[in-house]
Each structure stands twice: as structure tokens, then as C-alpha cells.
């Protein structure tokens, strides 16, 4: 049998080559298709984060797979005679390298994640920030209220008379301020391609920001198990240009005028009323 | 008890537990209301006739609120699986026997997705209902259809207590028409929190296919 250090050197070279190829593959081949896409600043940040994390994880995964491969092929016990392996006596350098390496990776990811969340231009990466957002992007925002109920999403546009609709249409290149709430149980508003995800909680106003930069249709899902039709609580939204948005808003306002008359005054939350069943 | 007997006992209990879980899952997956075909279309229009009752009156949940559907032979069937033709016009008549609960979201008070944007309530054309007077809704979200159903007055005489209810008992008649789309299974539901005795009215019959939820099976 060869000197173990020879195996170690070979494995290290194989790891380095496979890691470089793997990371290049992640960045160049997988990267352009990495979810959730580049349709908004927030989604773009998430896509970048996914590529970065995958690029860090892959060499670690390759090291583990390689370790197993070398152990199973090179150090496998052959023949009928069983004998104990050499005693493990520890290796301070290996242990220190492992602890230092993993600590650095975790600290780097924590710093990167925190920076992404608090950088104003990135609007807290599309996450719900509660009723008093820590990060508010600059610019005049279009306010859209998202109301979750078993089992549908509806949307109110306070800037257009507070009409409510089952359609979510947004203007391109304009900051949008979502106010997410619910009327019954906890839901979670997940506009996948927009990179927005915010819990919808009865009695709570959860604010999330997004700036769409691409004309596209995006999917909306509920990301919190909310009852029988949770799996069906999905729909689509659309990002359109400014003039199309304006025309749609006026048209939808007129179409829902009768419902708007009986809606409660626009508020951040609505008490789930009636709380009982009559009869 | 010897170790062997202990092992046997644990084994038998384990097998029993697995069997009970398997029976429960199998029943849960297979027990389903019958799918009811609508009457044959006349002049291209399919007639679907439903009724809503405050309490079904029969096991396993006699006290639950429920929908019923009239089959092609004119019999009332306890089901919410409704067969209708694809790309067709469906005329729905609902006999509504329950009292009002009120809409949690008044937005659903305006009929949507129906032909003419109006519905008939006891023969009178309306384009919106007072949300406090709603007893239930008939909504097919994927087809954009939502229709509020007016509740019977709390003090109405001769209220129906057990399904199927008859036209001699206090009720409202709601009629509307909508278009089906491509073949598929479209879930439908009630948006009124009408599950009596459950938290915020959204448990029990509101969470069970066959009562206030179902599928429109478009073929």
C-alpha cells in the first residue's frame, strides 16, 4: 500500500480540479437559470445569493464525496482476514483548519446575508419587515395591500380609491410597497419571480418592498399551510408598462365599483369579522 | 415476562398500529362523495341545481351546513363533485335555506365571472348583495366565478331543519349563468365563514369536500 500522504495529495489535486470545474459550472451554466431570476432587484439579489451559496457548498460537497470514494476504494479491507486499522490519534492541524474554515464560511454568509437585508437599495431582499420596516428604499412607492383569506388572494389599491381585485398588476420600474395581512388564519404571500415573500397574519401589517424591472407574468402562491385548499391558493400577477397599468387600474376600479362601495375603509388590518357563525 | 415475549408483544402492537394507520389513510383517501352529472344540456345550456342547508341531518356530521346537488333524475344527492361539459354555458339554480352569517370580506358581495355580471335573487336581477345578508357564496376561483347567496331571515317561518329541503320551506332562489373552460377539475368553495362551532367559522364543513367545498369536474 502507498504512503497515505500520496493518497492525500492525489485526493487534494482531484478535489481542486473538480471544485474549479464545478464552481465554473454553477456560475456559468447553472447561474443563468438559478431561481428566482432577475426580474426585480430583490429577486436578482436572491439569485446572486443562491449562486454564491451553491459555489461555496459545492467544493465542500465534493470534498465529502471524494473522501468517501477514496476511503471505499483505497482503504477498503480486502481478503478474508480482518484486522484493525491504525489507531486514531487526532491531528491538531486538520482539526484547526476544519474549525477555522467552517467558522469563516458561516461568518461570511452571516455578514453577506445581513448586508443584503439592511441595504436600503435592496429593500430587505423582498422579505416582510413587519409594520415598521427597518429598511425603506428611496422613492415614491405604489402601495398595494395583499389580503390572504381561505383560499384566495385579493389586492387593494389605496391610490385608486381603494378598490379590491383578485388580480395583481404592477407597473414596471416603480417601487411597490406591499402591505400584507390576512382575514382568518396565517398565510404567506409568495410572489416567486418577484422575490417577495411575506407572512400574512390576521391583525398584522407586514410590509415588503419590490421594484420590478421586467415585463413578465409572475406566480403567486401561499407558502404557509392554511387549510383544505392551501395547494390551490395560487394565482398569477403581471408586470406591465406604466400606461397599461394606469389603464388597467381605471378599468378595474370601474368594474369593481359596486364591491368597493361596501368595502371597509382602507386600513392596514381588518378584524376577522364576523367571528361567529349565525344561525 | 421474558425478553422473547416482550419482543412478540412489541411486534404485535407495532403491526397493529401500522394496520390502523393504513386503514385510516386508505379511508381518508378513498371516502369521497359521489360525482354527480348535471342534466343533459338543452339548447346548449347545462342546468345545475343545488341547495344549501343549515344542517344536513344525516351521519357522519348531521349538524354540519352543506350543499346538495340534484342529479339527472331529479333526486337530491349529498355531494359537491359536479360534472359539467367543457366550453359550455351552465345555468345554476341554488335554493338557499340557511340564515345569513355575513361575508368576512365584503368584496365577495359583488357577483363576478357570471354572464351579464348580474344574478337573479327570487326572480329579481341584482348586481350586488348587502354583505351582511350573505349566507354562503358559490365561488370557482380559477374560473373567476363568485356569487353571493342571500340568507333566509332569522325569524322566517317554516325554516328547514333537515336536508333535503323542499320548496315549501323558507328559502331564497338564486340563479345565474357562467361559461366553463377547458376540461379539468376546478375546486369550488364558500367564502362565508359558516362552519358553526369552529374557530372563526372556518373549520369542519368549510374544510371538507362534500359539504362547503367541492370540485367542478369539467369534461
A54-105 residue pLDDT tens: 999 999 999 999 999 988 888 887 777 777 777 878 889 989 998 999 999 9
A contacts of B212 (beta carbons < 8 Å)? none
Residue A49 has pLDDT above 70, yes or no: yes
**DSSP label at B105?**
S
B107-157 residue pLDDT tens: 999 999 999 999 999 999 999 999 999 999 999 999 999 999 999 999 999
A202 with A125: CB under 8 angstroms? no
Nearest one of B197, B114, B103 to B151, comparing CA atoms: B103
Q: Is residue B68 domain-resident?
A: yes
Total count of residues recorded for chain A:
279
Determine the structural domain holding residue B101 and report its residue range: 35-218
B178 with B201: CB under 8 angstroms? no
Looking at every residue in chain B, the average pLDDT score rounds to 91
Q: Is residue B208 domain-resident?
A: yes
B170 with B158: CB under 8 angstroms? yes
A contacts of B127 (beta carbons < 8 Å)? 258
CA gap A261, A258 in Å, rounded = 5
Q: Is residue B10 domain-resident?
A: no
Domain ranges of chain A: 4-75+96-118, 142-262
B82 with B94: CB under 8 angstroms? no
Q: Is residue B9 domain-resident?
A: no
Q: Is residue B191 domain-resident?
A: yes
- A275/B128 Cβ within 8 A: no
A54 with A26: CB under 8 angstroms? yes
CATH code for the domain in which residue B202 is found:
2.60.40.420
Distance from CA of B141 to the nearest CA of A (A): 8
- A263/B106 Cβ within 8 A: yes
Rounded to two decimals, the ipTM of the complex is: 0.84
Q: What is the CATH number of domain A142-262?
A: 2.60.40.420
Pairing of strands B76-77, B66-70: antiparallel
Of B102, B135, B154, the CB nearest to A274: B102
B114 with B71: CB under 8 angstroms? no
Q: Is residue B81 domain-resident?
A: yes
Q: Is residue B19 domain-resident?
A: no
Mean pLDDT of B170-183: 95
Count of pairs with CB atoms under 8 A, one residue in A, one in B: 98
User: Confidence band (pLDDT; 50, 70, 90) for A278?
Assistant: very low
Nearest one of B129, B107, B130 to B118, comparing CA atoms: B129
A contacts of B102 (beta carbons < 8 Å)? 273-274, 278
Listed range (A121-125, A129-133, B28-32) with the worst mean pLDDT: A121-125
Q: Is residue B21 domain-resident?
A: no
Long-range contact pairs involving B58-65 (C-beta distance under 8 Å, separation at least 24): B58/B162, B58/B163, B61/B204, B61/B205, B61/B208, B61/B211, B63/B196, B63/B197, B64/B195, B64/B196, B64/B204, B64/B205, B64/B208, B64/B211, B65/B98, B65/B136, B65/B194, B65/B195, B65/B196, B65/B205, B65/B211, B65/B212
Of A154, A166, A279, the CB nearest to B101: A279
CA gap B105, B134 in Å, rounded = 11
Residue A276 has pLDDT above 80, yes or no: no
Beta-carbon contacts of A123 under 8 Å, excluding residues fewer than 6 positions away, are A41, A42, A135, A137, A175, A208, A209, A210, A211
Domain count within chain B: 1
A208 with A128: CB under 8 angstroms? yes
CA gap A172, A211 in Å, rounded = 7
Amino acid at each position: 500500500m502507498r504512503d497515505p500522504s500520496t493518497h492525500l495529495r492525489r485526493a487534494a489535486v482531484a478535489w481542486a480540479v473538480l471544485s474549479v470545474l464545478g464552481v465554473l459550472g454553477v456560475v456559468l451554466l447553472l447561474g443563468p437559470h438559478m431561481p428566482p431570476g432577475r426580474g426585480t432587484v430583490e429577486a436578482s439579489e436572491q439569485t446572486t445569493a443562491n449562486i454564491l451559496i451553491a459555489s461555496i457548498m459545492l467544493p465542500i460537497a465534493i470534498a465529502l464525496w471524494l473522501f468517501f470514494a477514496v476511503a471505499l476504494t483505497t482503504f477498503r479491507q480486502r481478503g478474508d482476514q480482518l484486522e484493525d486499522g491504525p489507531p486514531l490519534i487526532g491531528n491538531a492541524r486538520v482539526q484547526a483548519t476544519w474549525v477555522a474554515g467552517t467558522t469563516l464560511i458561516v461568518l461570511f454568509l452571516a455578514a453577506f446575508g445581513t448586508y443584503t437585508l439592511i441595504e436600503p437599495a435592496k429593500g430587505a431582499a423582498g422579505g416582510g419587515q413587519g409594520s415598521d420596516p427597518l429598511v425603506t428604499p428611496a422613492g415614491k412607492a405604489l402601495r398595494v395591500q395583499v389580503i390572504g383569506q381561505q383560499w384566495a388572494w385579493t389586492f387593494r389599491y389605496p391610490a385608486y380609491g381603494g378598490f379590491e381585485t383578485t388580480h395583481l398588476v404592477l407597473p414596471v420600474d416603480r417601487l411597490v410597497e406591499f402591505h400584507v395581512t390576512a382575514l382568518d388564519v396565517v398565510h404567506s404571500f409568495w410572489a416567486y419571480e418577484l422575490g417577495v415573500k411575506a407572512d400574512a397574519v390576521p391583525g398584522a401589517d407586514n410590509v415588503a418592498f419590490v421594484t420590478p424591472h421586467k415585463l413578465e407574468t409572475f406566480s403567486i402562491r401561499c407558502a404557509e399551510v392554511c387549510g383544505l385548499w392551501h395547494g390551490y391558493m395560487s394565482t398569477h400577477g403581471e408586470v406591465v408598462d406604466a400606461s397599461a397599468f394606469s389603464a388597467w387600474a381605471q378599468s378595474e376600479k370601474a368594474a369593481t365599483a359596486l364591491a368597493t362601495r361596501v368595502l371597509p375603509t382602507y386600513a392596514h388590518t381588518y378584524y376577522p369579522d364576523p367571528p361567529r357563525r349565525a344561525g | 415476562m421474558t425478553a422473547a415475549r416482550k419482543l412478540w408483544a412489541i411486534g404485535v402492537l407495532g403491526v397493529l398500529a401500522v394496520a390502523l394507520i393504513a386503514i385510516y389513510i386508505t379511508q381518508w383517501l378513498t371516502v369521497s362523495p359521489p360525482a354527480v352529472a348535471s342534466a343533459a344540456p338543452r339548447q346548449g345550456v347545462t342546468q345545475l341545481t343545488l341547495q344549501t342547508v343549515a344542517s344536513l341531518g344525516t351521519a357522519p356530521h348531521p349538524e354540519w351546513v352543506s350543499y346538495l346537488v340534484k342529479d339527472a333524475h331529479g333526486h337530491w344527492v349529498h355531494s359537491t363533485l359536479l360534472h359539467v361539459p367543457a366550453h359550455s354555458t351552465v345555468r345554476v339554480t341554488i335554493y338557499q335555506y340557511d340564515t345569513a352569517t355575513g361575508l368576512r370580506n365584503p368584496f365577495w358581495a359583488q357577483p363576478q365571472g357570471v354572464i351579464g355580471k348580474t344574478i337573479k335573487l327570487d326572480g329579481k336581477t341584482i348586481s350586488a348583495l348587502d354583505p351582511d345578508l350573505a349566507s354562503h357564496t358559490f365561488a370557482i376561483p380559477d374560473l373567476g366565478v363568485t356569487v353571493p347567496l342571500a340568507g333566509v331571515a332569522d325569524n322566517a317561518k317554516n325554516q328547514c331543519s333537515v336536508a333535503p329541503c323542499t320548496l315549501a320551506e323558507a328559502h331564497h332562489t338564486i340563479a345565474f349563468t357562467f361559461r366553463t373552460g377547458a376540461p379539468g377539475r376546478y375546486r369550488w368553495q364558500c367564502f362565508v365563514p359558516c362552519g358553526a362551532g369552529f374557530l372563526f367559522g372556518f373549520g369542519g364543513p368549510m374544510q371538507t369536500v362534500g359539504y362547503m367545498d367541492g370540485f367542478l369536474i369539467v369534461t
